[in-house]
Chain A
Amino acid sequence: MSKDGKTPMLDDLEKGAWPSFVKEIKKAAVKSNTAKDLLNILERSYRDKVTHWKHGGIVGVLGYGGGVIGRYCDLPEEYPGVAHFHTVRINQPAGNYYTSNALRELMDIWDKYGSGLTNMHGSTGDLVLLGTQTDKLEAIFAETTAKGWDLGGSGSCLRTPSCCVGNSRCEFSNIDSMEICDTLTHKFQDELHRPAFPYKFKIKVSGCANDCTAAIARADMSIIGTWRDDIRIDQAEVKNCSKDMDIKTEVCDMCPTHCMSWDGSTLKINNKDCTRCMHCINRMPKALRPGKEKGATIMLGGKAPIVTGALMSWVIVPFMKLEKPFDNIEDLIRKLWEWWDEHGKNRERIGELVDRMGMRSMLESTGLPPVPQMVKAPRSNPYVFWSPEDVK
């Protein structure tokens, strides 16, 4: 803060067409000293070009190992309003649908105890309430749980699962992504709130290969909807589509497996060659629909770079039917956790453990058979490890 409390650099970010977060902080600052000092310390960061936050590792609510991220500022005398600036993660409802009444209840609680600022939502999916003090945490927890909300995950635990809109609004969906997400969240409450894993574990559910939740890039377990039978074609609608687009160049030629043909009146798909990439269906949603034998491909290992480099998830189960009560996927996840728990080092994500121990160890302990769908190609190096049983 300059001595007079002016924030010229941030004020500049109130201008322009894109919605301004500075305006939002200023709105909250009318009611909250925490928000007011956030504005001041942020202006200071803009001048100094460095952050002014320190990590807080021992703040939380009684009994839980996650859901609160501790923050302290490094200049508490100058900015007392943000001496503490902890974040509360509220587990979002699957699909991020709300009613205005439910949201207003949450906002009222937040105005009472916090800065009045929120991220709707954080990267993992939680509804993030930004900026409160240690002594308010229990009260926030009591009032939000009384209204039916619970905290999300943080720490070496299951992080808050998230999903795409799936069946609720998307005709491409091959699985009930919201119901799966909600069910797993409730089955795994203990793993979510009481960290006991080597490191974090994320689950994301996308209803089709468009992967709107970026599950393959951002989740240790990526559940991606798919189908086994033939793409459903409405030839009359294909003809209709051909009025607005060049089906040959925009659809057939861009099919990665070159399994489609269009002669001006009939669209043919060689479904045996189709890899269900979604391109043609995205182009002609009225004319093409996924098949009817639906389920999910289960993939494992995605993570951000820290420490050995970013990974994207790979196939471990090519096809799994996913129907209520979803015991089969629960069972698989629990087996994977057991294997990871037994062999994982501190801060080793499950994908890195597969890297270190090999796929075989993971497959044997979960009872999954090796299949060609798991690899882009078999190995080319001849350093094959044989176990005594193999050689018998």
Chain B
Amino acid sequence: MDAAEVQKKVYEMVEKMQGKKKLKPKDISNALEAEGATKEEVKAALRELIDGGKLVYSYFGGTAVEIPHTEGSANPQS
């Protein structure tokens, strides 16, 4: 799969699940491997998106990948 396409798919997958399920790098990799991408391609796409700030790692007991947003704890008035 071409690198831009993998990145697009990764991003869309995270976007779709945001707030519903914390996706681990492994979940993303499994899903895209099923669509024909390789492990290495997914890893490279994740790294590109994360180094570019479009996605971030989060940690709530386990590590997940999310779109940057303000989390509940950082949000005093609600």
Interchain CB contact under 8 A, B58 and A347: no
Chain B hits for A55, CB < 8 A: 60, 73
Of the candidates A58, A156, A347, the one having the most CB atoms from chain B within 10 angstroms of its own CB is A58
Interchain CB contact under 8 A, B24 and A60: no
Interchain CB contact under 8 A, B26 and A60: no
> Which of A58, A64, A156, A346 is within 8 Å of B68, CB to CB?
A58
CA distance A76 to B26 in the complex (A): 36
Residues 37-59 of A at the B interface (beta carbon under 8 Å): 54-58
A384 touches B (CB below 8 Å):
no
A92 touches B (CB below 8 Å):
no
CA distance A62 to B51 in the complex (A): 6
> Which of B53, B63, B76 is within 8 Å of A65, CB to CB?
B63
Chain B hits for A347, CB < 8 A: 61-62
Chain A hits for B16, CB < 8 A: none
Interchain CB contact under 8 A, A57 and B76: no
With both chains docked as a complex, state the minimum distance between the C-beta of A75 and any C-beta of chain B, in angstroms.
9
Given contacts A65-B63, A198-B26, contact A155 B73 (CB under 8 A): no
Q: Chain A interface: which size bin?
A: 20 to 34
Interchain CB contact under 8 A, A63 and B76: no
Given contacts A57-B59, A64-B57, A157-B63, contact A77 B68 (CB under 8 A): no
Interchain CB contact under 8 A, B25 and A195: yes
Interchain CB contact under 8 A, B73 and A54: yes
> Which of A54, A156, A341 is within 8 Å of B63, CB to CB?
A156
B71 touches A (CB below 8 Å):
yes
Residues 26-78 of B at the A interface (beta carbon under 8 Å): 26, 43, 47, 50-51, 53, 56-63, 66, 68-69, 71, 73-74, 76
Residues 143-183 of chain A: 1 if any B CB is under 8 Å from the residue's CB, otherwise 0?
00000000000111100000000000000000000000000
A339 touches B (CB below 8 Å):
no
Interchain CB contact under 8 A, A76 and B76: yes
With both chains docked as a complex, state the minimum distance between the C-beta of B36 and any C-beta of chain A, in angstroms.
19
Interchain CB contact under 8 A, A155 and B57: yes
> Which of A66, A72, A156 is within 8 Å of B74, CB to CB?
A72
Chain A hits for B66, CB < 8 A: 58
Interchain CB contact under 8 A, A72 and B63: no
Interchain CB contact under 8 A, B59 and A72: no
Chain B hits for A72, CB < 8 A: 73-74, 76
Given contacts A72-B73, A72-B74, contact A60 B62 (CB under 8 A): no
Chain A residues close to B by CB (< 8 Å): 54-58, 60, 62-66, 70, 72, 76-77, 83-84, 154-157, 194-196, 198-199, 341, 346-347
Chain B residues close to A by CB (< 8 Å): 24-26, 43, 47, 50-51, 53, 56-63, 66, 68-69, 71, 73-74, 76
Task: Give 26 pairs: A residue, B residue, CB < 8 Å, sorted on A.
Answer: A57-B59, A57-B73, A58-B66, A58-B69, A58-B74, A60-B56, A60-B57, A63-B50, A64-B57, A65-B57, A65-B59, A66-B57, A66-B59, A70-B59, A76-B76, A154-B59, A155-B63, A156-B24, A156-B62, A194-B47, A194-B57, A195-B57, A196-B26, A196-B43, A198-B62, A346-B62
The 9 closest A-B pairs by CB, nearest first: A65-B57, A195-B63, A156-B63, A54-B73, A155-B63, A57-B60, A155-B59, A57-B58, A63-B51
Known: A56-B73, A60-B57. 4 other contacts (CB 8 A): A57-B73, A65-B63, A155-B57, A155-B59
